Structure 1
Amino acid sequence: MKLIKTKGLVLSFLKYRETSIIVRIFTRELGLKSYIVNGVRTKGAKSKMAFYQPLTLLDLIVYDKEGAGLNRISEVKLSKAYERIPFDFQRSSIAMFMGEVLGKSIYESYHNESFYDFLEYALGLLDEESVILVHYPLVFLWESSKYLGFAPNNANSFFEELTDEAYHPAEVKEEMDYLDGLIGESFACTHKVHAIFRKKLLDHFLMFYSKHLESQNEWKSVKVLRQLLE
């Protein structure tokens, strides 16, 4: 068993027995790992639960034993304290959506340091006052698909992949132009786009992800997100 120093992004946790949790953390050095944390659900340890809220960025020293399904955390401290995400409804709703996307996309022991670095950057951006929130979820889906290995080359190939839905190019021209803008400008995109097309592109992105992830599970955080795309 080794002790490893790593950064980590909390994805989710489950209550375990009376006072413990099992937390899933996407670590930079080890990939997605599950850790058992004892005694954090007692009255005296409530502050420690703050470390394990979804999308918290941590500095960790963890035990790592090859083949172990559950490991333990030796040391934990906050890597970055968010200034706006927890206190802003729009930002916290987008973060909730990001957590759901990552929970569906990243499997146990999946390891990608570049993706971790991108997520850390993207969350830092979401916490900034200047970020353009109406485009953010769509850019996040596009950028993440590159690291997950199924990003199309352009908007045209994106829609060609959605073979389950018949469409005419003229019907999706606005969406295609918008997506090409997002691809070209990423989080700096300032395109003026009607809310209808933002929502349509979101729905098409979720179809695209479900197809590549072979998941038919409902996207639970989307109802709130659609309201933010108004």
Structure 2
Amino acid sequence: MLHKTRGIALSYIRYRESSIIVKIYTELFGIQSYIVNGVRSSTAKTNRIALFQPLTLLDLVVYHKGKNDTVHRISEMKCYNPFNTLPYNVTKSSLALFVTEILGKTLKEEEANEPLFHFIEHSVLYLDHAEMGFENFHIQFLLHLASFLGFGIENLHDLEREIKSHHFPQMADKTELSATEQLLLNGYGMPVQLDRTRRVSILEKVLFFYKIHIEGLGEIRSLEVLKEVLK
């Protein structure tokens, strides 16, 4: 059966000679996998594989046979909001890779969650449009995403208490605590001055918090690149 839905591209793997299997977070069906044929062929008329770069916003017509099928097919696809800066700015593209990896590891539900979809969409559009002040974007994204995943952080005290109870080794100073609270309470774009050491420390703290709640989160491969870019 054919369905129209919006989607956010997360990742893809090669499949056979010229096809890919792409993972997309959809507005109607949650996280889903789709096979796309012929996108890697030398005779392909268009560069459709570019539509599946990290966080591309897609209008889709998809074919779902049934709930027991794990891989579906895409009938039609187009980008509904082409990026202006995200793929061309090294810092933004590094942030996008980090966010994409986090989403790939945390999004499990194969059902609609419109508030979560709209949060991710809003976050992606903010990052693409932001001209400055987005160096803490990834931390705020994690802090707010947690609420949609079922383990939201109500306040700074709760965050500090929980990570300490699980033996997080680092102690934060007043500057770091104040910055973490501002990032938690405010939306994107709020200027929070952080040096590299404190930014990394807060990020590691939040990732530690995620590992408490998400079994098997594992290593975040894009983390080291992100740390280098955000010096």
Superposition deviation, residue 81 in structure 1: 0.8
Superposition deviation, residue 164 in structure 1: 2.5
What amino acid does structure 2 have at the position aligned with 1:30? F
Q: TM-score, normalised by structure 2?
A: 0.92
Map of 1:6 onto structure 2? 5
Superposition deviation, residue 177 in structure 1: 1.3
Change (3 A) 1:110 1:132: farther
The structure with the largest helix share of the pair is 1
Q: Structure 2: give runs of 5+ residues left out of the alignment.
A: none
Map of 1:195 onto structure 2? 196
After the TM superposition, which of the residue ranges 182-191 and 150-159 deviates more from structure 2?
182-191
Superposition deviation, residue 94 in structure 1: 0.3
SS in 2 for 1:80: coil
- For the Cα contact (< 8 Å) 1:199–1:229, is it kept in 2? no
Map of 1:88 onto structure 2? 89
Per-residue CA deviation, residues 160-208 of structure 1 (Å, 9 max, x unaligned), is 1112325687x44332211111122221321222322111000111111
What amino acid does structure 2 have at the position aligned with 1:102? L
Q: How far, CA to CA, are the matches of 2:126 and 2:217 in structure 1?
A: 30
- For the Cα contact (< 8 Å) 1:134–1:228, is it kept in 2? no
Superposition deviation, residue 122 in structure 1: 0.8
What amino acid does structure 2 have at the position aligned with 1:185? N
Q: How far, CA to CA, are the matches of 1:197 and 1:110 in structure 2?
A: 37
What amino acid does structure 1 have at the position aligned with 2:32? K
Mapping for residues 56-95 of structure 1, pairs under 5 Å: 56-66=56-66, 67-95=68-96
SS in 1 for 2:110: coil
Per-residue CA deviation, residues 38-81 of structure 1 (Å, 9 max, x unaligned), is 11110122601111222111100101222211111111111111
Per-residue CA deviation, residues 108-140 of structure 1 (Å, 9 max, x unaligned), is 515311111111111111111434122111111
Mapping for residues 91-110 of structure 1, pairs under 5 Å: 91-107=92-108, 109-110=110-111
Q: TM-score, normalised by structure 1?
A: 0.92
What is the percent sequence identity of the aligned residues? 35
SS in 1 for 2:160: helix
Map of 1:34 onto structure 2? 33
After the TM superposition, which of the residue ranges 106-115 and 194-203 deviates more from structure 2?
106-115
After the TM superposition, which of the residue ranges 44-53 and 27-36 deviates more from structure 2?
44-53
- For the Cα contact (< 8 Å) 2:168–2:208, is it kept in 1? no
After the TM superposition, which of the residue ranges 191-200 and 153-162 deviates more from structure 2?
191-200
Q: How far, CA to CA, are the matches of 2:22 and 2:116 in structure 1?
A: 20
Map of 1:154 onto structure 2? 155
After the TM superposition, which of the residue ranges 103-112 and 54-63 deviates more from structure 2?
103-112
- For the Cα contact (< 8 Å) 2:134–2:188, is it kept in 1? no
Q: What RMSD in Å do the two structures reach over aligned CA positions?
A: 1.7
SS in 2 for 1:91: helix
SS in 2 for 1:188: coil
- For the Cα contact (< 8 Å) 2:10–2:54, is it kept in 1? yes
- For the Cα contact (< 8 Å) 2:15–2:21, is it kept in 1? yes
Change (3 A) 1:117 1:157: same
Change (3 A) 1:218 1:17: same
Map of 1:18 onto structure 2? 17
Change (3 A) 1:17 1:91: same
**Equivalent residue pairs, number:** 228
Change (3 A) 1:31 1:132: same
Q: How far, CA to CA, are the matches of 1:35 and 1:108 in structure 2?
A: 16
SS in 2 for 1:186: coil
